[in-house]
Amino acid sequence: MRCDGAPGRPMASFVAVLLSAGLVACNRGSQVVTSIEFDGNRRTIETRDVGCTNQPTGGLVILVSGGPKRTVRIQLTQQGRLVVERVGLRYDDMAGFVADAREVTATKVDDTFTFSGRMPPNPGESQWHTFKIETNCPGYRDALPSGNPPQGVP
C-alpha cells in the first residue's frame, strides 16, 4: 500500500490549521487584572480583552470586557490633566454610570489608571454609589476616522 499522494494533503492542512491557531493564541494581549470596588464590595476582572483607544479629539476610551455581565467603560481626556467624562460599569448584579466630571477623579502612573468617585443611584434606588476602579492599558490604538467630515468642511 502506498502512502503518498492525496491522503497526505489533509494531514498537512490539519497541521497548518493547528499551527495557525497556536500563533493566534500567542498573539493575544497580555492578561490585565482590573480591580473594582463598588459600595465597599471588591471584585476583579481578569481578561486579555482590554482596549485603550485614542480618540481624534484627544480623548481616550478604555474598555474592559470580561464577558457580557462584567464590563467597564471609561471615557476621558488627557490634555494637561485627566478629566473623566463618563464611567460605566457592570459586574454581575452591580451596575452604575456617571457622566459628570465633578464626581470622578483620576490618576495615571505609567499605563495604570485609577478612577474613584461616586455614581448617582440607579432607577429604583435612593443612595449614591461610591466606586474605585484600577486598570492597565497594555497598549494603545488610534480610533478609525469616521466617514463623515466635520461640519463646515467641504
Rounded to the nearest angstrom, the gap between the alpha carbon of residue 93 and the centroid of all alpha carbons in its chain is 19
Neighbours of 45 (CB within 10 A): 22
C-alpha cell recorded at residue 16: 497548518
pLDDT band at 151 (very low <50, low <70, confident <90, very high): low
CA dihedral for 27, 76, 83, 117, sign (positive or negative): negative
The candidate with the shortest Cα–Cα distance to 62, out of 109, 115, 26, is 115
pTM of the predicted protein model: 0.76
Q: What is the pLDDT of residues 58-108, one digit of tens each?
A: 899 999 999 989 999 999 998 788 999 999 999 999 999 999 999 999 999
